[in-house]
Amino acid sequence: MKPDTHALLVIDVQNDFCEGGALAVPEGSAIVAGINALMDDYAAVILTQDWHPADHSSFASQHEGRAPLEMIEMPYGPQVLWPDHCVQGSAGAEFHPELRTNRADLIIRKGFRPAIDSYSAFFENDHQTPTGLEGYLRNRGITHLTMVGLATDFCVNYSAQDAAKLGFAVELRRDLCRAIDLGGSLATALDDMAALGVMMSKG
Ligand code: VGL
Ligand code: ZN
């Protein structure tokens, strides 16, 4: 059992990121059993849930003539266009059916503002709008975060980088994450996280 200062942050283990989902990450569901087992080691378990309105601006469907995985320039910077995914209230937005959601103390939803995407559990993609997670963690006296989930190179990556920048000690369980890997994004993500002091464990 870890001390009470350590939390497990489970990023976006949702149907749309698993096999058969709208934005399926290869082997996405393979991490669920390991995450469930790891929950027993932590007093604090926090889940994130990607939670988009149907007309979210990160969806290629909202941009005339654009296709998924193309890049677009948003007021806050470059943005990948995604297939419609994790639409609020849809089956795809639900957690994987085997994830032990009852162990969660907090479920934090992100990406609900139509005009801005939110990969990170801490800040939206403008890197300024907070989700409130930092305050929650600090109020609970949490200083150490173990991160797992989907996808290694997007939401896990941005969450880990923000957490490290905020001064949390961050450990990434590589074996309990899976990546989208778009044009080398996984290698870049791993380098960026390591440069900020994120510890990588098990692979
Ligand atoms: C994610 C792309 C779009 C993720 C979420 O959870 O990594 N990726 N929305
Ligand atoms: Zn999303």
What are the residues whose beta carbons fall under 8 Å from the beta carbon of 63, sequence distance 6 or more? 72, 81
Q: Could you tell me what percent of the chain has a pLDDT over 70?
A: 100
CA distance 49 to 65: 29
Chain centroid to Cα 36, Å, comes to 17
The one catalytic residue in 50, 86, 110, 117 is 110
pLDDT value at residue 41: 97
| Helix (H) or strand (E) run with residue 45 in it | strand 44-50
Residue 155 appears among annotated catalytic residues: yes
DSSP state of 95: B
Confidence of residue 51 (pLDDT cuts 50, 70, 90): very high
| Six token digits for residue 90 | 């849809």
| Helix (H) or strand (E) run with residue 73 in it | strand 71-74
pLDDT tens for 110-150 read: 999 999 999 999 999 999 999 999 999 999 999 999 999 99
pLDDT tens for 141-153 read: 999 999 999 999 9
Average pLDDT of the chain is 97
Residue 25 pLDDT exceeds 80: yes
Query: For the whole model, what pTM was predicted?
Result: 0.97
Over range 65-92, report the average pLDDT.
Answer: 97
pLDDT value at residue 202: 77
Residue 203 pLDDT exceeds 70: no
Would you tell me how many other CB atoms lie within 10 Å of the CB of residue 66?
14
Ligand 1, atom 4: closest residue by C-alpha: 155
* CB-ligand 1 contact for 153 (6 Å cutoff): no
* CB-ligand 1 contact for 50 (6 Å cutoff): yes
**What's the one-letter identity of residue 155?**
C
Confidence of residue 61 (pLDDT cuts 50, 70, 90): very high
